[in-house]
Structure 1
Amino acid sequence: MSVALNNPLASLEQLETTISRRDGVSEELEEDLRNLGSELIESAGILLKLPQVAMATAQVLFQRFFYMASLKEFGIVEIGMGSLFLASKLEECFVRMTHLITVYDILIRRLKGLSTRTPLDAFSQRAYQLKNMAIAAEMQILRKLGFIVHVQLPYNLMINYLRILGLEDHETVARRAWNYLNDGLRTNIYVTHEPPTIAVAAIWLACRDEQIKLPCQIGQEWWLLFDVDSVNFKNVAAHIRRLYYKKLDGKNLPLYKDDMS
């Protein structure tokens, strides 16, 4: 990955042909697994009562990882756990390994339609396997990303942009834009575009929903105030909107590398 000013971004070559696709994983399956893996991270983070920034950081690390590695070699459960464990350290909200694997076990069983009444036995073989997977995954993430694990998120930028546009007090727009930023974490946009572009895309989508026409100043479109290109932010917006038109069949998706045919 080339290191940009704010975040490491995937190269054009990485985007056109990912390692997973070279390994025979279809584009649709890769997209679904990225989506589900990010969704599991968010669900686990909520159950663990982690701050939003930790969940978001973990999701970005997860997305970055799979531009450096194949889904045939690493499963979304192990990399999801490793990403969340690492992010909890980076954001100084450390989570205990026992709690992490217990929560993931509950989510996996719930996804597969199995009973979640009996919690994971911390001394069981299953717990031992999950713990080893998470520890090994954290090291793989650090190694594959070259220890470049800084993540700049667009939330504060988005709030500042709303203030500049005079919309900081419009609760509905702010809430919708925030939700779009959250939903975007299930896609690859945080690895393909810089935070200003993502923030503008979220505002644009929110204002379209609320039928709010944003101002032009001295003949310039509003997004030029933030040095953002319209083609780029509309591409981000399209990626986010695609999420709402496709139902994710998580129950039948491969969670582990051994499940990949």
Structure 2
Amino acid sequence: MAHLTNPLVSPEQLASSTRINEALPQSAQDLIRFSTGKLTQAAGILLRLPQSVSAQAVVLLYRYWTIEELARDEFKDISAAVIYLTAKISAHPRSLRSIANVYTYLYSSSSALASVQAQDPKSRPDPASYYLSPSSYTSFTSRILLLEGHVLNALGFGVHVALPHPLAITYLQTMDIFSAAYSKSNGPKLARRAIALLNTALLSPQMLYLTHQPNALAVAAIYLAAREEGVNLPSVEWWEVFDVEREELGFLVVAFLSLQNWCAEMGKEAIGAMRKVDIAKLAGGEVDEEAEMAMMLDEKPV
């Protein structure tokens, strides 16, 4: 059953993560995780990766950040590194060229993710804005390969990620939600809502995927989805069948509920194409002009 469980972070690791990032305000830490998680998901969509691969990449990214400082690496680079690593060990590998092209586009003025103002839907993207020169490509891939090794070293090569999404569907089938005893629309509707809740939880500031096993996350998503959709589940304490205690279920349901407003608020503040210099400005610290100039030179077409 090891393939259905994840290595969880300990309270000591969470405390250590808090200490190494104490120079950053909590709001800045949340913004980094949320924005980089969104960036990783957007890259997964453009790379046509299954949602499962993108989700695993976000989990690995958050695991890495319990060990290393949030602002240690450029956010574009660490996001690309975990996407590259996660896709490589899956059935859907992607080339460095594809990943470089996608992240160059996401950080260009043609990308809706990078644009501060709403773009005119009739306007056409400017290909020149996401042109990747040979020198920039070489620099980018060198950084990604270096970071890939660093991520593997930091995680002790523990890159297994079990997701709760398949378990949620299996649990619904076990409870006969898709059977004739329920309305034909109830099963798919409940499943869609549960999966949506699990996808949202990936960006949780409480890092739920690092502190709870997939079976508990799946049960909590089903419980909350059933309440929201008005679907009656068995009247007995069915969650105990799936090895989840009432206390843990209650905590996770409250955490899921709090995410809805939190994500809406973070969505207003999130910086899609975030750079380290943005965090330095938000935190009120000094901007490393030398590092900023080096990044600009890397991105400048040659």
Q: What is the TM-score when the length of structure 2 is the normalising length?
A: 0.76
Q: Distance in 2 between matches of 1:20 and 1:107?
A: 32
Q: Compute the displacement of 1:158 (Å).
A: 0.8
What is the match of residue 76 of structure 2? 77
Shift of the 243–86 alpha-carbon distance from structure 1 to 2, 3 Å rule, reads: same
What is the match of residue 231 of structure 1? 247
1:166 to 159, 176, 179: 176
1:178 aligns with 2:195: yes
Structure 2: where are the runs of 5+ without partners?
120-124, 180-186, 286-302
How is 1:104-253 mapped onto 2 (pairs within 5 angstroms)? 104-109=103-108, 110=111, 111-113=113-115, 117-118=126-127, 120-168=130-178, 170-187=187-204, 188-217=207-236, 221-245=237-261, 246-248=265-267, 249-251=269-271
State percent identity of aligned pairs.
29
Q: How many matched pairs?
A: 256
How is 1:24-63 mapped onto 2 (pairs within 5 angstroms)? 24-63=23-62
Q: Compute the displacement of 1:141 (Å).
A: 0.9
Q: Compute the displacement of 1:250 (Å).
A: 2.4
Please say if residues 190 and 231 of structure 2, whose CA atoms lie closer than 8 Å, have aligned partners that are also in contact.
no
SS at match of 1:67: coil
Please say if residues 67 and 154 of structure 2, whose CA atoms lie closer than 8 Å, have aligned partners that are also in contact.
yes
Please say if residues 177 and 206 of structure 1, whose CA atoms lie closer than 8 Å, have aligned partners that are also in contact.
yes
Please say if residues 19 and 68 of structure 1, whose CA atoms lie closer than 8 Å, have aligned partners that are also in contact.
no
Shift of the 237–152 alpha-carbon distance from structure 1 to 2, 3 Å rule, reads: same
Structure 1: where are the runs of 5+ without partners?
none
Of structures 1 and 2, the one scoring higher in RCO (CA 8 A, sep 6+) is 2
Shift of the 102–20 alpha-carbon distance from structure 1 to 2, 3 Å rule, reads: farther
Q: Distance in 2 between matches of 1:151 and 1:112?
A: 29
SS at match of 1:9: coil
Q: 1:40 is matched by which residue type in structure 2?
A: L
Q: Compute the displacement of 1:4 (Å).
A: 11
In our comparison, the structure showing a higher alpha carbon Rg is 2
Q: Distance in 1 between matches of 2:163 and 2:22?
A: 31
SS at match of 2:227: helix
Q: Distance in 2 between matches of 1:66 and 1:4?
A: 23
Shift of the 6–205 alpha-carbon distance from structure 1 to 2, 3 Å rule, reads: same
Q: 1:113 is matched by which residue type in structure 2?
A: S
RMSD: 2.6
Q: Distance in 2 between matches of 1:132 and 1:20?
A: 30
Q: Distance in 2 between matches of 1:63 and 1:123?
A: 31
Q: 2:14 is matched by which residue type in structure 1?
A: L
Q: Distance in 1 between matches of 2:178 and 2:28?
A: 39
Q: Distance in 1 between matches of 2:115 and 2:55?
A: 27
Please say if residues 3 and 162 of structure 2, whose CA atoms lie closer than 8 Å, have aligned partners that are also in contact.
no
What is the match of residue 94 of structure 2? 95
